[in-house]
Amino acid sequence: MSGITRYLITTSDEITWKFDRPVLFLGEWCRLYDRKHIWKDMDAIVAAPYGLGKQKKETDYALARDLEKKLFPVLCNILNQFHNNQHNDRFWRIVLGHWFRRFIDVILNRVNTLELCLESYNINGTSAFTIDSHALAPMDSYAAIWAFNDDRWNNALYIRILNLLGVTNCPVEVISEAKSDHITNSIAAIEIPIKKKIRELGYHTISQITSMLAKADDAFIINSYLPRNEVIKFQLALGQIPQLWSSPKFSPTKNPDLTLRKNLSVQIPEAKSSPLFGIMCSLIFELLPVCFLESFTELNRAIQQLPWPKKPKFIFTSNNFDTDEVFKCWTATKVESGSKYIIGQHGNNYGTYRYMWPSIEEKTSDKFLTWGWTDNLPQHTPAFILKTAGRKATYYDPKGGLLLVEVHMPHRINTWDETFEFENYFANQMLFINELESLPRRNLTIRLHRGYKYFKWNEEARWREFDPTLKLETGTLHIEQVIKQSRLIVHSYDSTGILETLSQNIPTLAFWQNDFDHLRDSSKPYYELLVDAGIVHLTHRSVAAKVNEVWNDVEGWWGQNHVQEARSQFCNQYAKISNKPVRDLKELL
């Protein structure tokens, strides 16, 4: 344990900081880049990150899934009793399974982060906002995702965990509400382009008209990832009038009922297996979104008003299975009545990512349409990339520039310290650029993920300080437009973009720094093919050397037999394309 006594800081909100004594930042999320002038001269250190390394991640992942398995049936039973119904586990897993899994992972991370901090450092106090005791309960599962990133919410959670751990040597100083007016909201206000608003309004109008022509047993298809013209053709092939469904937003009108939540918490059997499990039992009803408890009757009333088919032969989506409360509740009800539930793969990681298998959507569906692979679940049904089905291939410019595709700061929803990992990721990008020769560097465009502005990492300013001459594309252009201006695409992480550019035979490179630690064993041979072909690289130096080597003849390198063979074998497993998507999909379903 460190000998110096320090004051614990858990948030980036400087109202909770102390400037007259040594302090300990709980994580890198506390130190905002645009406030460096404030914290760089403080007597401060950052606590060691929790949960990193392949072995630790695997241990925690296994523990989290075991705790999920133990606690989920308990939650289902209590909710059934409270709501006076007899829904099975599958019903509740469809309705709130994604939130529940995040709850387990987040609590595991926050508890163990605090315990590691208390074991490693001498702490003499911390600060807390004065908050209503129900502040930990978000309104819905989408709000919960943003709450997991929020300073104020996490500060309240850390203080609550300190109490549950019985920590007595860390006094809490309460900050008055008057001082904390500028604290950020839990949910980022995501800006929707005006053209998209107009387009969606048009589709909504068409949907209202076509819904009147729907039959009770029509297949229900919503946000399938298929292009809309393919959705229309697919429904015609099914013999039904095409419908462009949209899901209404559900906004709970109730507030958390503290007395109710306390009464439900005491119904959980006393947890003696571990302190961590006991804390999860104590917190589950404090964090349970309002839409699943106080406003669940409202939610059921809302689904009864829907113009959707009463007895759909099947329900198909690739997007709405996570945070769309109306869709999930309606679907769970229809599945209990016999409708088949089909889910399409949503992006990459499925079938390859070590800490995701099986996902909630894989477990709850009757069929899970993959982009080509299968992996030990009866639901797995090999299909093709739905997102690009029927579209003209995206072209690249053999004389164009170099495109580096970035990811944004992740949500803090895993068992490990993702902020620390992202800091290393960002530093790795700069090392890559420094290894580029002058010509590709001058022709470089860095494509920031369009969601970056809703986090606090300040990518633009960081890049400007690193090299003000770099060209940044901040997500204002569609990715296809930027690809069309490029001769070579470099993906800086294991992304959906890799699958899309490889499947469309666009010259592609990719690199990351954690070797194959994030991959399932079954997928490693296919990634090794890409490594051997010089497509995937495991160091910044290796990928930069490949850019420098092929820059003057990218097409010559890309057209080599061994490169194309590796690309083809990988895509046949994880990124298949279909020349007749409607026919193929009809056969599958």
Q: pLDDT, tens digit, for every residue of 414-426?
A: 999 999 999 999 9
- Give the pLDDT of residue 182: 33
- Give the pLDDT of residue 451: 85
Three-class SS of residue 332? helix
Residue 13 domain-assigned? no
**How far apart (Å, rounded) are the C-alpha atoms in residues 330 and 306?**
9
- Give the pLDDT of residue 250: 95
**How far apart (Å, rounded) are the C-alpha atoms in residues 354 and 352?**
6
- Give the pLDDT of residue 418: 96
Residue 137 domain-assigned? no
Number of domains in the chain: 1
Ramachandran quadrant class, 390 (left: phi over 0; alpha: psi -120 to 50; beta: rest): left
Query: pLDDT for 495-514, tens place per residue?
Result: 999 999 999 999 999 999 88
- Cα–Cα–Cα angle for 201, 207, 210, nearest 5°? 150
Residue 481 domain-assigned? yes
Residue 580 domain-assigned? no
Residue 450 domain-assigned? yes
pLDDT band at 201 (very low <50, low <70, confident <90, very high): low
Residue 412 domain-assigned? yes
**How far apart (Å, rounded) are the C-alpha atoms in residues 587 and 589?**
6
Residue 556 domain-assigned? yes
Residue 423: give its domain's CATH number. 3.40.50.2000
- Give the pLDDT of residue 297: 97
Q: What are phi and psi of 428, to 5 degrees?
A: -65, -35
Which structure tokens are listed for 139? 């309104």
**How far apart (Å, rounded) are the C-alpha atoms in residues 263 and 256?**
13
Rounded to an integer, the average pLDDT of 24-31 is: 97
Alpha helices in 172-239 (DSSP H): 194-211, 228-237
Write out the residue range of the structural domain in which residue 489 sits. Answer: 401-574
**How far apart (Å, rounded) are the C-alpha atoms in residues 413 and 455?**
14
Could you tell me which of 354, 353, 300 has the C-alpha nearest to residue 331?
Answer: 300
Residue 117 domain-assigned? no
**How far apart (Å, rounded) are the C-alpha atoms in residues 352 and 355?**
9
- Give the pLDDT of residue 270: 77
pTM of the model: 0.94
